[in-house]
Amino acid sequence: SGCGERRRRCIGRPHRLGRSLLLLTLGGCLAKPPSHLPDAPMVDRVSIDGTDAVHEREVKKRIVTTQSSWLPAWVPFLGDAQWFDENAWQADLRRVERLYQTRGYYQARVVEDEVKTTRPGHVEVRIKVLEGKPAHLTHVEVVGLTALPPEHQKAVLDRLPLRVGDVFVEDNWETAKKSIADRLRQLGYAEAMVKGEVIVDTGVPSADALLEATTGPRYRFGRVF
């Protein structure tokens, strides 16, 4: 029986060793940078400082540079290594400013960016944002509806997401244009189109919005077959 126990132990050892070698082999493949970035360091941490109006988590979602998973990079299918790309990083600095502009913060600027080596082959990156003040709507005008009956004008303009005093948010601007066009079509103006322009004064800051509707004729049902 003693010999049998020794035999089982001998059989077990190569099996465990083989599995360990497999993990290490996979780990070596997963931990290598991509071929187009052969010398790229791994990104251990991404920090966004100065965020208040826009949450840091939202900013991180909009940039390409992301931090590696807290799991080791060599863990198959779970470890997630992210590599630093200088070109992507420079584009990310512009993406951050553009994100703030869509939220009405046209004064927002990236005032600092840092790529810090923490140990060989690893970096931490940081962006510092100066948000500035948001641009409030000081004037909102919709033209092209005067030929419509008063009840149609009221239905088209009711509760649009653009009001004087609100922060100018680009999503609200696009929603307002689409809402006007959709409401006109629902009233029978099948060829309705809406365009517009916004003038932003970044010094104040403030925004003046002009929406121009082209209604076209009102359609009615003809013969139905």
pLDDT for res 78: 55
Among 37, 130, 139, 50, residue whose Cα is nearest residue 88: 37
> Is 217:191 a contact under the CB 8 Å cutoff?
yes
How confident is the model over 10-28, as a mean pLDDT?
44
- Rounded Cα–Cα distance for residues 92 and 106 (Å): 17
- Rounded Cα–Cα distance for residues 174 and 178 (Å): 6
pLDDT for res 32: 83
User: pLDDT digit string (tens) for 97-125?
Assistant: 999 999 999 999 999 999 999 999 999 99
User: pLDDT digit string (tens) for 164-218?
Assistant: 999 999 999 999 999 999 999 999 999 999 999 999 999 999 999 999 999 999 9
pLDDT for res 113: 97
How confident is the model over 128-135, as a mean pLDDT?
98
Residue 83 identity (one-letter amino acid): W
pLDDT at 50 over 50: yes
> Is 184:153 a contact under the CB 8 Å cutoff?
no
What is the token pair recorded at 211?
């929406």
